[in-house]
Amino acid sequence: MQLLERMHLVQYFLFEAKTLQLDRTSAIIAPNGAGKSALLDALQLVLLGGDRRHIHFNAQAGGKARARSIRDYCLGVYRSGEDGRKRRTATTYISLVFRDEETGAPLTAGISLGASADEPEHRQHGLYLLPGVALELDEHLEKVDGRELPLEWSRFRELAAKRCRKAGTTPEFHASGERFVKDLLHRLRANPGGGVDFNAYRKAFQNALNLQRVEDVDLFVRTLVAEDRPTDIARFKALLDSFRQIKERIEQLERRIAEAEAVDAQYGKVAAQAQRAASYRALAAEYARDLLGEQVEQAQSDCDAGREELAAAGLALEQARAERRSLQEEYERVREQLQGSAGYGEQASFRELAGRDREQLQRLQTDLQRRLEQLREPLQELVALRLPGVDEAGLGKALAPLEELHAEVAAAPGGDGEGPAPDAFHARLKQALAAAAPVQATVAAWARQSHEAWQLARARRDALRGNQQRLGAGQANLRDEVMRLLNHLREAGIEARPVCDLVRVTDKRWQ
């Protein structure tokens, strides 16, 4: 004999995840309206294969106390209105765990459903029979961000198949409720050789749900025992349900069509605006074309005027070339006469020597001016730097003599005239260098300090980079002095490793 020992409910009615332990003496006792029929309806869903044609929810109330549906149980609807349900979406599992009292072999039978507040009907993911497996509640759930949520149907199938393989059995998944119930009855039958009457089972199950005090035996037999073959009420009800579903679907399609028409109207407005924008762009392109045409005409007229000016310039060039040829001929004639005159050769040699001396003097002046600029420019740059220890008054005092010397050299004629006296210029230059010596010493000291600070900063940077690499490799952080020592040794070609990388503390008291 098979004993129902557990029922797992996941996202069913007001239960999020609940296991009911059952035995031979279990009973459901509670006040009216407490939800007793919800548990019986959960049993119906599994034992009748989720077939709405044969399920009668809230059977003790004649099915009229409240028009319940599978979707309502999945979403946890307990009153009308948007706030009258426990959840918006649901993945429902109802698993019944049976156990053979003789062999102790378990069997899990269940159904997986889905529903959403945005959909008019529920979805049936599948029905499952797991021989040799007693599923636990945790095997229906998974933890996501600290919350327990139902497993997806595909992952649940994989888990169920894995459990069956471990138990040495084969899972059975059904899409048809009738086929599922027949297979379930075949596995739960007391006599292995006995047959299974599906219609008799369904009728007996319905009678058990409707079990009340029998006032009229004849009426009880006619309505609950005898099968009403002339009128198939269940089929008629199923047809009514299907027509109701078709009506709801038509209404839903009408709403969608109205929404689509509204969207189409909006797109029509957008298309009109786009057409208007395209017209404006075309008009702007025409205006731009007219403007470019006017510019082309103006450029053409300018080009014609340029051609005329070019022709006139060519004529003037030819005239200038003719005049140059005549002047060249006159120059050659006069030069021949000059060379034939007395004293011409001696005068030419003096002129050549004077030209060489003038060129050398000009080079010396240029070199002297360049050297004075090399002395003056660093002092001028110090004014903008504003270094500590260099005051503007002392800097101006050192810069003034160099400015005067540079001005005198720049004002001297380029190779013509005497220019400044060499001895006096040399003495003044020595005085200017002596005046700039304190500034030079201050700048040199500041440069040494800056160089030392730069070297220290570079050493700290190398130490920080080394520590960053060590931390990235999971090693301990080292002091800056140790990292600088390692860098100096590495630059000298000596590979060194700190003791903390070589020693491992295994005693937990010293860790």
- What pLDDT does 189 receive? 85
Residue position matching structure tokens 């360049």: 370
Alpha-carbon distance 131 to 22, whole Å? 19
Three-state DSSP at 235 gives: helix
Cα end-to-end span (Å), the chain: 62
Tokens (6 digits) for 322? 């003719």
- What pLDDT does 63 receive? 47
- Residue 66 DSSP symbol: S
Q: Looking at this protein, which amino acid is placed at residue 310?
A: L
- What pLDDT does 199 receive? 83
- What pLDDT does 375 receive? 64
List, in sequence order, every residue forming a beta bridge with 123; answer none if it has no partner.
114
pTM higher than 0.85, yes or no?
no
- What pLDDT does 257 receive? 95
List, in sequence order, every residue forming a beta bridge with 3; answer none if it has no partner.
99
- What pLDDT does 32 receive? 79
Alpha-carbon distance 328 to 322, whole Å? 10
- What pLDDT does 224 receive? 60
Print pLDDT tens along the chain (511 aa): 789 999 999 999 999 999 999 998 888 888 877 778 899 999 999 999 998 888 888 766 654 445 689 999 999 998 888 888 999 999 999 999 999 988 999 999 999 999 999 999 999 999 999 999 999 999 999 999 889 999 999 999 999 999 999 999 999 999 989 999 999 999 988 777 767 788 888 887 887 777 566 666 676 666 665 655 666 788 888 888 888 999 999 999 999 999 999 999 999 999 999 999 999 999 999 999 989 888 898 888 888 888 888 888 888 888 888 988 988 888 888 877 777 665 555 565 666 766 776 777 777 777 776 776 666 666 666 665 566 656 666 666 666 666 666 676 667 665 455 556 666 666 766 766 666 666 666 666 667 777 777 877 777 777 777 777 777 777 777 777 777 788 888 888 888 888 777 777 788 787 6
Q: Minimal CA–CA distance to 50: which of 130, 131, 110?
A: 110
